[in-house]
Amino acid sequence: MSEHAEWSEAEPSTAPASAAVTPADAADAARLVAFGLQPKLQPARDQEYADLLRRYREDPPFARLADAVATGLGLIVLEVSPRAGMAVTAAEDSVFAVRMGDYARRTSADGGDRFLHGLAHLAVAVMAFPRPEDLADDAYIGRVTVNGVDAFVRQACHRLEERAAEQGENTDPASDAPGLETAWRVWARRSATGATKDARRLAGSTTGIVAKAVTFLTDSGFLQRTGDDHGGTYRTTARYQLQVRDLAGGAAMAELLELGVVPVTDGTPTLLPADSDEDLELVAGAGLPFHSV
């Protein structure tokens, strides 16, 4: 992606003629990037997409050209393969970047809920790939449910409450204080479904917030809905695995993992006491599939 042909009058025939870039090549490279921006499109179901992916793998100059087109659009290429297609994510300054603030405003009239939506995304990622080996295994498919994610966060809330009590910390901090230690108090106090007589799931309830997160991830090609049980069941895609790999070093995800997540296979959460009492500072917006500004 950073390689450039060197031209000089002294060596006019250094580069072979086949390396010359034509307008058709540029169009094909842009077309491949355009396919990558359609996250639900599967290469196996589009012959042109599959052909361009094959050319990317077999033609290094074309691959560099496609990478350059992606870079110019502010995109980061995570992987190019038959399983994931051309998987790209937006850099922070890209026109394609999704801002956490915009996402939160679309999901709730209350700006104070922004962190809860972020926490829901973190919880989905942690439950989908609870072990490093799951995240590293290309064949691994994570499964989550809406109710399972909500239950997981509530168990995490309970664990954080116990930790705060053991350390004698203030149980009612300022509402705008950052970090999971504040988020768990807000989440734990929020109704899981809502206050309607038929217990319908309201958008501002915790399961409503999780449902919005998984719907966003599904629309973005990161999850696939597989059923309606437990508030909605979902499976991960190769693109989501790549996205979570790219963000797995975030302090927010690390802090949730520090609470003691163990492997899950059916979307049912289980927590064990953490082995370490070391606290990690939460970085707002870290580990999310969008940017915090």
What confidence score (pLDDT) does residue 164 get?
74
Q: How far does Cα 241 stand from its chain's mean position?
A: 8
What confidence score (pLDDT) does residue 244 get?
87
Q: What's the whole-model pTM score?
A: 0.67
User: Buried b / exposed e across 240-274, counting CB within 10 Å, b at 16+?
Assistant: bbbbbebbbebebbbbbbbbbbeebeebebeeeee
Q: Which helix (H) or strand (E) holds 251?
A: helix 251-257
Q: Which helix (H) or strand (E) holds 76?
A: strand 75-81
What confidence score (pLDDT) does residue 115 get?
75
Q: CA triplet 140, 141, 143: central angle to 5 degrees?
A: 140
Q: CA triplet 74, 75, 77: central angle to 5 degrees?
A: 150
Mutual orientation of helices 114-128 and 206-219 as an angle, nearest 10°?
60
d(CA 196, CA 219): 28
Give average pLDDT by consecutive 10-residue segment, the chain, 293 residues. 44 50 94 92 93 96 96 92 90 73 57 75 88 87 93 84 72 48 74 62 81 89 91 92 76 54 40 36 36 42
Q: CA triplet 65, 241, 28: central angle to 5 degrees?
A: 20
What confidence score (pLDDT) does residue 130 get?
83
d(CA 147, CA 232): 8
pLDDT in tens, 8-54: 444 444 444 455 789 999 999 999 999 999 988 989 999 999 999 99
CB contact at 8 A, 273 and 133: no
d(CA 279, CA 166): 14
178's tokens: 């950052």
- Write the DSSP symbol of residue 89: E
What confidence score (pLDDT) does residue 23 get?
93
